[in-house]
């Protein structure tokens, strides 16, 4: 996860640690040139506070924090604070303004989503997908279409992914699951009550769980083995449409598919082309 996104969502900071974080976010380029004593002086804290903050971020010290800031700075500076994801288009705007505002929604969503991706988690999830004998996706409403698109992508390289759509089908699939399955649960804010029932069944069957959810607190996070986070800035209902939510989910699922594809890149290219060659011949 991008260090700036991590700083936005960490919750167990003291007041003095928050002062360092606020200064860092407002002055990232200056921060990476400063010594511990200079940071302590300008933030009115002790140097030990700086190192306690690094420990909470699971970093070895100030030097590693500066490395993380440098690596994340480009995308952080591209992110526009205060951008209105819910109402990016205003009344009486021209078609020219509308198409450019929607582009800005997509640009900001991708930047936010990229900042939230934990590469180590992505690597672990990809290998879990590879060793799993079955991959099951549990989703609802609009998320189902994106789950089915992922199912189609995987089918194109010969991998079956199950996307049960009805409540009974989902509960039955979860009941048939086991430790050799991977369950992918999609729940932006944890409002889907069926997800709670599915998780209870999956925990009983000892099924590894990947939760794809919004970056703000989700009640089901503690039950998942793996996490990937969607851009969290769009309101659940008070908005023009789910522009950002749709794109962030598509981006995450495409990342999962592409990382899986890359594990056997040439073999997957070969399989995909062979499948469509068979289709072409039969269609002639």
272-281 pLDDT, tens per residue?
999 989 888 8
Mean pLDDT of 211-215: 90
CATH topology match: 3-78 vs 116-274: no
| Superfamily, domain 116-274 | Glucose-6-phosphate isomerase like protein; domain 1 (3.40.50.10490)
Q: What is the pTM of this model?
A: 0.79
**Least confident among 17-26, 71-80, 142-151, 255-264:** 71-80
Phi/psi of residue 83, each to 5°? -65, 135
CA 201 to each of CA 205, 219, 248, 265: distance values in angstroms, whole numbers, following the listed order: 6, 16, 28, 35
Residue from 134, 121, 130, 158 nearest 207 by CA: 134
| Cβ pair 133, 90 in contact under 8 A | no
Q: What is the pLDDT of residue 10?
A: 84
Query: Taking the domains of the chain in order of start, what are their residue ranges?
Result: 3-78, 116-274
CATH 3.40.50.10420 fits 3-78, yes or no: no
Interatomic CA distance for residues 110 and 107, integer angstroms:
5
75-112 pLDDT, tens per residue?
776 666 678 999 999 999 999 999 999 999 999 899 88
């Amino acid at each position: 996860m991008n260090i700036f996104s991590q700083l936005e969502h960490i919750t167990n900071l003291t007041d003095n640690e928050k002062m360092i974080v606020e200064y860092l976010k407002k002055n990232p380029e200056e921060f990476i040139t400063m010594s511990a004593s200079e940071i302590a002086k300008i933030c009115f804290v002790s140097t030990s506070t700086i190192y306690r903050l690094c420990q909470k971020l699971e970093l070895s010290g100030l030097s590693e924090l500066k490395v993380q800031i440098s690596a994340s700075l480009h995308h952080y500076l591209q992110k526009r604070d205060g951008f209105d994801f819910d109402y990016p288009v205003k009344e009486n705007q021209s078609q020219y303004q509308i198409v450019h505002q929607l582009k800005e929604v997509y640009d900001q969503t991708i930047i936010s989503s990229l900042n939230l991706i934990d590469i180590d988690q992505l690597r672990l999830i990809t290998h879990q997908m590879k060793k799993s004998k079955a991959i099951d996706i549990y989703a609802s409403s609009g998320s189902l279409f994106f789950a089915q698109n992922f199912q189609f992508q995987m089918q194109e390289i010969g991998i079956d992914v199950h996307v049960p759509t009805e409540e009974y089908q989902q509960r039955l699939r979860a009941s048939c699951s086991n430790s050799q399955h991977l369950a992918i649960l999609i729940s932006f804010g944890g409002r889907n009550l069926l997800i709670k029932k599915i998780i209870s069944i999956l925990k009983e069957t000892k099924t590894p769980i990947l939760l794809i959810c919004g970056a703000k607190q989700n009640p089901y996070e503690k039950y998942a083995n793996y996490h990937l986070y969607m851009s969290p800035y769009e309101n659940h209902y008070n908005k023009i449409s789910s522009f950002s939510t749709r794109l962030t989910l598509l981006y995450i699922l495409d990342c999962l598919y592409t990382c899986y594809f890359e594990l056997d890149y040439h073999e997957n290219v070969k399989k995909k082309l062979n499948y469509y060659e068979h289709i072409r011949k039969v269609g002639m």
